[in-house]
Amino acid sequence: MAKTENADVHACTLDKIISLCKRRGFVYQASEIYGGQAGAWDYGPLGVEFKRNIQNEWWHYMTQLHDDVVGLDSAIFQHHTTWKASGHVDHFSDPMVDCIECNARHRADKLIEDFIAANPDVNPGKPVDTMTHDEMKAFIDANINCPTCGSKNRKYTAVREFNLMFKTYQGPIADDSHLIYLRPETCQGIFTDFKNIVQSNRMKVPFGVAQVGKSFRNEIIFKNFIFRTCEFEQMEMEYFCKPGTEDETFDRWRKDRWQFYLKYGIPEKQLKWHHHDKLAHYAKDAYDITYNFPIGFEEIEGIHSRTDFDLSQHQTYSKKDMSYIDQEDGNKKYVPYVIETSAGLNRNFLMFLCEAYEEQNVAKAGEPEDYRTVLHLDPRLAPITVAVLPLMKKDGLAEKAKEIQHMLKEDFVTDYDTSGTVGKRYRRQDEVGTPFCVTVDYDTIQEKKEDGSANELYNTVTVRYRDSMEQERVALDDLVFFIQKAIKNYKPVIR
């Protein structure tokens, strides 16, 4: 799809996505009437349906299609020692630097990365994620004017670490004994429940545990709409495997997660692997799947080989045995290794919108340009599956359309619209990605023609396809099955 570097005025841009989201009820700024809350967004009537559909498809893909993956919903509040054991208290931080002249705070590594992206001829000498704090400071001082105030003096504080966890206190007393954190990731609940899951569900290694839930990070800066926010939802899976098998398991899940995005309409040319040169304290290896947003290639999912770090750490801090007895290997006892897949639901939301967005010229040859805005969403993801549109409000058409809508509600998310011409209603549905429009006309309700002969189109409706704008006549008795089959056989639009 067209990106911002394309001069075409009809290219997808982040501003267009933000405008569409506000205008059509996908996403609103949180607390907008009070000037907005930084890093927080509300998902509107269409947004909440779209987000839930992405989550449901991920859950279906990870648990229903994999016999060795089960689910969990762990608590947001975990014992504070959990985060000491996981390393978050000591290691979960970003490098921060302040402009002395305007007091604006910046994430030092992102400041450098953005500068290099805008100035590709500048060579920092080494990957940014391997730089020390002193090296970051030296590069910033030598090259980067403050993005906030524009000062060319380049007076910055020393680079220091900023812990990303939100702190609070449980109970009426605000002291260290009541300290608690909002979880910065969902996976630690999976690790602390590992033994419970093995025992209660008779799980045998290798197996995975999937979870979707909210996490919270006190970011230095929030930018690019819903891409980086203080509260977000993760779709994570921790796969426990026998030590020595982690490399092949890691490769398996890399391939598997890549295929997920292809299945739901993301073309391979829009995806790219990013290998981590500098690994987290727990990792043996790590890759990110990145997507070509209008802002460039950015992470949508990480696949990490976490070794036995997490279970071993929780074993040390809790004094509870977290090892596994492998009955199929002579009762051998070991602490399993872990392969993690961690996808951002909010970033997936933004990615699918950006990829689906098109301003398409639908004018016939020789006619003036006529552009429609359309979201080519996979029908399984679209917030509305079927819109039912009576040709006119009168003569019983509206009543029949309502009857058909209620029939379809059992199987699909539906919409009903009578405002404006049918053509305008089609355009409104195209803009929110509705894959099917059902039009109810006089043939639907009239059993006989004006000459008294039988009307062969009686009890049929017109089904209009969003992507091709082609139409097909379908019998009402077959309508539910027809739409279900069309969803199952859907082919993504690759541009």
Helix, strand, coil shares of the chain, percent, nearest 5, are: 35, 25, 40
Q: What pLDDT does 90 receive?
A: 82
User: Taking phi first (over 0 means left), then psi (-120 to 50 degrees means alpha), and beta for anything else, what does residue 328 get?
Assistant: alpha
Q: For residue 468, which of 379, 390, 376 has the smallest C-alpha distance? A: 376
> Residue 181's pLDDT is what?
94
For the segment 177-191, the average pLDDT, to the nearest whole number, is 94
State residue 9's pLDDT score. 80
Do the beta carbons of residue 303 and residue 257 sit within 8 Å? Answer: yes
Integer Cα distance of 144 and 118 in angstroms: 11
Query: Which of the given ranges, 154-163, 186-195, 222-231, has the highest pLDDT on average?
Result: 186-195
Task: Name the residue with tokens 């220091």.
Answer: 160
Question: Cα–Cα distance between 308 and 205 in angstroms, integer?
Answer: 13
Q: How far is CA 363 from the centre of its chain?
A: 34
Under the banding of pLDDT at 50, 70 and 90, the label for residue 303 is very high
- Residue 18, token pair as written in the block: 């933000």
The 10s digit of each residue's pLDDT in 104-148 is 999 999 899 999 989 999 998 898 988 999 999 999 999 999 999
* pLDDT score, position 6: 40
d(CA 187, CA 171): 25
What is the distance between the alpha carbons of residues 235 and 129, in angstroms, rounded to a whole number?
A: 25
Cross-strand bridge partners of residue 95: 161
Q: Is the dihedral of CA 465, 468, 471, 474 positive or negative?
A: negative
Compare 92 and 270 and report the one with higher pLDDT: 270
Strands 69-71, 207-216: pairing is parallel
pLDDT at 291 over 80: yes
Q: Residue 7 CB: number of other CB atoms within 10 A?
A: 7
Q: How far apart are CA 255 and CA 249, in angstroms?
A: 10
From the list 395, 439, 435, 396, the residue with the least C-alpha distance to 417 is 439
**Residue 161, number of CB atoms within 10 A of its CB:** 13
Kindly indicate the confidence band of residue 177, based on its pLDDT and cuts at 50, 70 and 90: confident
Q: Which amino acid is at 17?
A: I
Q: For residues 190 and 198, what is the distance between their CA atoms, to the nearest angstrom?
A: 11
- The mean pLDDT value of the chain amounts to 94
Q: Residue 288's beta-bridge partner residues? A: 274, 302
* Whole-structure pTM value: 0.89
What average pLDDT score do residues 50-61 get? 98
CA atoms within 13 A on the CB side of 382: 30
Q: Which is higher by pLDDT, 493 or 194?
A: 194
Please, what are the domains in the chain?
Answer: 14-78+165-354 (3.30.930.10), 93-163 (3.30.40.230), 384-488 (3.40.50.800)
pLDDT at 2: 36
**Residue 219's pLDDT is what?**
82
Residue 3: per-residue pLDDT: 38
| Runs of H (alpha helix) within 202-303 | 246-263
Q: pLDDT tens digits for 142-175?
A: 999 999 999 889 999 999 988 889 999 999 988 8
Instruction: Determine the pLDDT at residue 223.
Output: 79
Q: What is the pLDDT of residues 424-480, one digit of tens each?
A: 999 999 999 999 999 999 999 999 988 999 999 999 999 999 999 999 999 999 999
For 228-284, how does the pLDDT look when each residue is reduced to its tens digit (9 = 90+)? 999 999 999 999 999 999 999 999 999 999 999 999 999 999 999 999 988 888 899
Cβ atoms 345, 234 nearer than 8 A = yes
Residue 483 CB: number of other CB atoms within 10 A? 21
Task: Quote the pLDDT of residue 286.
Answer: 97
User: DSSP letter string over 408-464?
Assistant: HHTTS-EEE--SS-HHHHHHHHHHTT--EEEEE-HHHH-SB-TTS-B-TTTTEEEEE
Distance (Å, whole) CA 12 – CA 18: 11
Rounded Cα distance between 146 and 141, Å, is 10
Q: Which of 273, 371, 354, 361 is nearest to 3 (CA)?
A: 354
Find the mean pLDDT for residues 180-192.
96
Omega of the bond leading into 206 within 30 degrees of 0 (cis): yes
Lowest mean pLDDT among 146-150, 372-376, 438-442, 487-491: 146-150
Q: Region 372-385: what's the mean pLDDT? A: 98
> In one letter, which amino acid is 155?
K
